Amino acid sequence: MTVPFYSNQDIVDNISMKEAVELVEKAFCDYAQNKSKMPEKIYLNLPEFHGDFRAMPAYDSRYNIAGVKWVNSHAQNVKKNMASVSAMLLVNSPETGLPLAIVEASELTAIRTGAAGAVAVKYCTPKTAKSIAFVGAGVQARYQYECIREIRSIESVTIMDVHEATAQKLYTFIKEKDSCDVQICTDIEEATKDRDIIVTSTPVKSPILDKGHVGAHTHINAIGADAPGKQECSIDLIKSSQIIVDDTDQAMHSGDINTAVQDKVFLKQEILSTLGELLLDSSLIDVNQRSLFDSTGLAVQDMAMAGYFLEKIRG
């Protein structure tokens, strides 16, 4: 049998940011209601190559598909002018196990991560939220912006990145797309002051965002921590925020809270809820108080995106 292959461009051409946000929101709801299945990620750590691989299996009942994504994280690839994340997704029939498709999934991963951030903003901030700070201005910052603008009217953006060229690239992208005010900052305190939303998307292992950088009303999308040892937000900031996770076990193992959990200064019961639970009961959170979405990336999101894509192209 010939298994069809679909490229990154096929994904980009067939799934809009608006569709992605809607898909990921449904995926969170399905997962919270046990309509989809997902075991924990499996990590293949290769410190000698400054990176790792992850196997991410899941089953999606909405589209009746199962599969696994094989994705890497090599932060130092940037120095080689190469993508730090690349992924492939194998989609199977849950009834027979036969392969249905192979999907190049780097763009799919980036889009669904941006969409997850937008869903968090939708449910964790008031509708009046209109300013964003980006700490880290790489590829994911662009997708966070594109997806968040689907659900909030953004008027002001600040950008901070250790690489000036990277910050400039995001600045140019936003200015070409929208008329909002955009500023590049060299200081994190300046970048995050009085922001309604802060998005962190860096590969750091020591906190860069402190409680003093963040307003009492601010929502944070903590995107960068996706493996044990990574941490963007300080313990004080974590402890003073309403913590929303994409998946409890996964966040405790490899999300922004993982170091605090391992050090026994943050407990499982201090997590307010998963994002799926919040979607089902929005009264769980006070949108006018500080909140933090700990995003690790879920295989159920990948399957939902792939299922929608395959259904769409097959008519």
Q: Is the pTM of this model over 0.85?
A: yes
Q: Supply the pLDDT for residue 201.
A: 96
245: containing domain = 110-297
Low-confidence ranges of the chain (pLDDT < 70): none
- Residue 35 belongs to a domain with what CATH number? 3.30.1780.10
Do residues 130 and 101 share a domain?
Answer: no
Do residues 41 and 130 share a domain?
Answer: no
Asked whether 246 and 40 are in contact (CB, 8 A), the reply is no
Q: Which amino acid is at 166?
A: T
Q: Supply the pLDDT for residue 188.
A: 96
How do residues 37-60 score in pLDDT, each as one tens digit? 999 899 999 999 999 999 999 999
- Residue 248 belongs to a domain with what CATH number? 3.40.50.720
Number of other CB atoms surrounding residue 62 within 10 Å = 18
Q: Supply the pLDDT for residue 206.
A: 93
43's enclosing H/E stretch is strand 42-46
Do residues 123 and 265 share a domain?
Answer: yes
Dihedral of the alpha carbons of 273, 143, 82, 307, in degrees to the nearest 10: 70
Residue with tokens 């193992």: 253
Q: Supply the pLDDT for residue 84.
A: 87
Residue 130 is a catalytic residue: no
Do residues 92 and 123 share a domain?
Answer: no
Q: Supply the pLDDT for residue 227.
A: 82
Q: How many domains does the chain have?
A: 2
Do residues 255 and 232 share a domain?
Answer: yes
Q: Supply the pLDDT for residue 58.
A: 98
Q: Which of 69, 122, 169, 230 is catalytic?
A: 69
Do residues 114 and 261 share a domain?
Answer: yes
Q: Supply the pLDDT for residue 285.
A: 98
Strand order in the sheet with 156-160: 181-184, 156-160, 131-135, 197-200, 219-222, 291-294, 242-245, 271-274
